Amino acid sequence: MKDFKFSNTGKKLTSSIIRELLKDVSIPGMISFGGGVPDPSTFPRYELSEITQKVIEEEFSYSLQYGPTEGDDVLKKAYIEYLKKNEGIKGLSTENLLITVGSQSALFLLSLVLLDKDSKYFVSKPVYLGAASAFSMRSTNHIDLPLSENGIDTELLEKKLAELASSGEIKNVKFIYVIPNFHNPAGVTLSLERRKKLLELADKYDLLIVEDDPYGDLRYEGEAIPSMFKMAGKDRVLLLKTFSKVLSPGMRLGFVIGHEEFIRKLVLAKQAVDLCSPSLTQRIAGRFLQKYDLKELLKPTIDMYRKKKDLMLEELKKNFSDMQGVHWTKPQGGLFIWLTLPEGFDTMEMMDYGKKNGILFIPGAAFSIGGGCDNSMRLSFCLPPEKDIVEGVKRLKQTVLEYGKE
């Protein structure tokens, strides 16, 4: 390859397994439990189309122009109302919000303003790959916390923090990154007790919690648990939200909610990255929130995803309950189930068997930095039609059996 004199960071960049895998989605007859994208039929396209025409024709001097780096005040105010009504978060002003190009760019901005080469941060194992990539651009010193049905292991966190404190390394620890609801990829939710424990530890060691919550609005059953941002406030927690799973990922709108001084620092970083988020989609979303009750509009989407999730769980039970050592998470919302096979199974190797059988899944290793999770896989139930969920789980069973025999 020609020597383009890439930086060390540039040299280390490699294509993700997920991107490679998604290429196989187009093979005829293939059933995919791979991609984590929402079902396009859920996008409120007629409502958005009507608003878009108005926003372009009547508000073109804002919507087709550069906008403020901080984000569109129309959308910010509407979203502050949304958070108050639906999450009980009060007392926010527009200075507590930054609108980003999806929450992926928020993760990258955080990495820019928080991490140095020697910084440490806590993430879950398995981890959301996008966060791992954003953080590792600046520092690779992640500390892993295993996940169980109730979210990250706070006992282990406590132990590790005490060790870091006694070795003097605690000063390099910058934040604890958590996905509180319906984790990607694991589907699990952080319990109220663990949220409290996490806040207690964050207080004790003066650490920031980065609460990344793209899926909280997609709850299919059970009681909502308050966000840590609501419980502890802007001094301790930075909340990340996005419209990607509830409105449209193509609009690329994410929100950082936090202390005004922190937000100001992110704004300065964002000026260097992209000047501003798209004025057009921000204003469309702002007018959309003013006109419609998003929570109400989400109800059919939630019904559809719940049905698909229940069906996948039922099919997993039918096909795998006779296999010793196979277990899977039972999410109350979100888009993902995490299936674990007995020790010794390597789901990365199994992908070729899966492809032959016409079934795609994401191997656990894709969500693990530096190894591990080899015998697990992420299954997404939101996109395939119901008949494909039934057929797909059968193909998965066959794949597991074939691989197990070799």
Contact positions toward ligand PMP, by CB under 6 A?
36, 102-104, 128, 130, 179, 184, 212, 214, 242, 244, 249, 254
- Tokens 């910058």 identify what position? 174
Q: Is 336 in a helix, a strand, or coil?
A: strand
Rounded Cα distance, 318 and 333, in Å:
21
Reported residue count of the chain is 406
* Residue facing ligand PMP at closest CB distance: 102
Q: How far is the CB of 101 from ligand PMP (least distance, A)?
A: 7
Residue 344 CB, shortest distance to ligand PMP, in Å, is 29
Nearest approach in angstroms of CB 286 to ligand PMP is 17
Give Cβ neighbours of residue 384 (< 8 Å, ≥ 6 apart).
31, 32, 33, 308, 392
CA–CA distance from 65 to each of 50, 384, 400 (Å)?
20, 39, 54
**Shortest reach from residue 184's CB to ligand PMP, in Å:** 4
C-beta of 121 vs 353, nearer to ligand PMP: 121
Q: In the complex, what is the shortest distance from the CB of residue 180 to ligand PMP, in angstroms, rounded to a whole number? A: 10
Pick from 158, 251, 233, 141: nearest CA to 200: 158
Shortest distance in whole angstroms from residue 145 CB to ligand PMP: 15
What token pair was written down for 177? 């990154």
User: For residue 217, how many C-alpha atoms fall within 13 Å in the half-sphere facing its CB?
Assistant: 23
**Nearest 5°: phi and psi at 56?**
-80, -45
**C-alpha dihedral sign at 85, 91, 94, 96:** negative
Least distance in angstroms from the C-beta of 204 to ligand PMP: 26
Residue 157: exposure state from Cβ atoms within 10 A (0-12, 13-18, ≥19): buried
Tell me whether residue 298 or residue 350 sits nearer to ligand PMP (CB atom): 298
- Residue in the structure block whose two tokens are 């990344």: 212
127/350 with CB nearer ligand PMP = 127
Q: What is the DSSP letter of 26?
A: G
Q: Which is nearer to ligand PMP, 215 or 353 (CB)?
A: 215
In whole angstroms, how close is the CB of 45 to ligand PMP at the nearest point?
18
Pick between residue 130 and residue 404 the one whose CB is nearest to ligand PMP.
130
Q: Name which of 403, 293, 282, 275 is nearest 348 in CA terms.
A: 403
